[in-house]
């Protein structure tokens, strides 16, 4: 299929880390993006990955395995304000028409 | 200063009417997009434009027509509005037709 799948919810603790997983169809891969979206607001771009491996962007890091159709967003040194929905947007065929996952709602507890 | 402007922020329309949603980006990007997000649903890709040319259209209904008068403008005309069209419409842009996209603040449309 051409879907993008993410877990609906994730909980973690302030000061620790959280990993948001995303699986997607491997056909026609053009790259995969991660966004943060707060309630009632627009998505905010975090990272775009096309190469396998870990891409370290400080507070946010992303990992990609193209052969497995798998990516994750890693948030370290969590703060309460990191509580938000995290969206994965992946390929959906040869042309560029991204498919968004339903988002993972991350709740960071004190 | 906002880099992507969407007007209006809120819009209420009656069934059967026509509205135009405005989008302007000041990021110097070459590609622009429209998305729709209904309550509790994922973001839904609608259109993509690159260098003012329509690249992809995932909207089944011809009631939705993008209009690009300038490279940094991509408006969305919606005709014969229906209550099911109620959603937040986001405009986005990217440097080229790949890579991450930057989203505008959205226009929340309510059709009565």
Pairing between β-strand A9-13 and β-strand A104-109 as defined by DSSP bridges = parallel
The fraction of chain B above a pLDDT of 70, given in percent, is 99
Per-residue confidence band for A92, with pLDDT thresholds at 50, 70 and 90: very low
Are the beta carbons of A46 and B100 separated by less than 8 Å?
yes
The percent of residues in chain B predicted with pLDDT above 90, rounded, is 68
To the nearest whole number, what is the mean pLDDT of chain A?
Answer: 88
Q: Is B98 on the interface with A (CB under 8 A)?
A: yes
Local confidence band at A28 (pLDDT 50, 70, 90 cut-offs): low
A89 shares contact with chain B (CB less than 8 Å): yes
Do the Cβ atoms of A48 and B48 come within 8 Å? no
**pLDDT tens, position by position, B63-95:** 999 999 888 999 999 999 999 999 999 999 988
> pLDDT (tens digit, 9 = 90+) per residue, B26-47?
999 998 999 999 987 889 989 8
Give the pLDDT score at A96.
60
Q: Is some CB atom of chain A closer than 8 A to the CB atom of B55?
A: yes
Each residue of A46-82: pLDDT tens digit?
998 888 999 988 899 999 998 888 999 999 999 999 9
Residues 6+ apart with CB under 8 A from A30: A50, A91, A96, B98
Q: What is the mean pLDDT of residues A29-44?
A: 90
Average pLDDT, chain B: 91
Asked if pLDDT for residue A91 goes beyond 70, the answer is no
pLDDT class of A22 with cuts at 50, 70, 90: very high
CA distance A3 to chain B (A): 12
B42 interfacial to chain A (CB closer than 8 Å): yes
């Amino acid at each position: 299929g051409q879907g993008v799948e993410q877990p609906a919810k994730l909980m973690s603790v302030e000061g620790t880390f959280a990993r948001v997983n995303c699986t997607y169809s491997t056909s026609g891969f053009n790259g995969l993006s991660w966004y943060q979206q707060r309630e009632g607001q627009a998505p905010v771009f975090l990272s775009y990955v096309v190469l396998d491996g870990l891409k370290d962007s400080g507070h946010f890091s992303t990992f990609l395995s193209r052969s497995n159709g798998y990516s994750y967003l890693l948030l370290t040194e969590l703060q309460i304000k990191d509580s938000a929905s995290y969206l994965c947007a992946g390929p959906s065929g040869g042309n560029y028409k991204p498919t968004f996952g339903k988002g993972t709602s991350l709740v960071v507890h004190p | 200063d906002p880099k992507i402007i969407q007007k209006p922020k809120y819009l209420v329309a009656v069934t059967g009417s026509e509205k135009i949603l405005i989008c302007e980006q000041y990021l110097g990007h070459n590609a622009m997009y429209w998305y729709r997000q209904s309550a509790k649903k994922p973001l839904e890709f609608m259109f993509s434009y690159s260098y003012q040319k329509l690249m992809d259209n995932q909207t089944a209904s011809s009631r939705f027509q993008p209009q690009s008068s300038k490279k940094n403008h991509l408006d969305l005309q919606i005709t014969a509005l229906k209550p099911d069209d109620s959603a937040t419409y986001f405009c986005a842009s990217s440097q080229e037709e790949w890579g991450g996209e930057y989203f505008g603040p959205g226009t929340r449309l309510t059709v009565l």
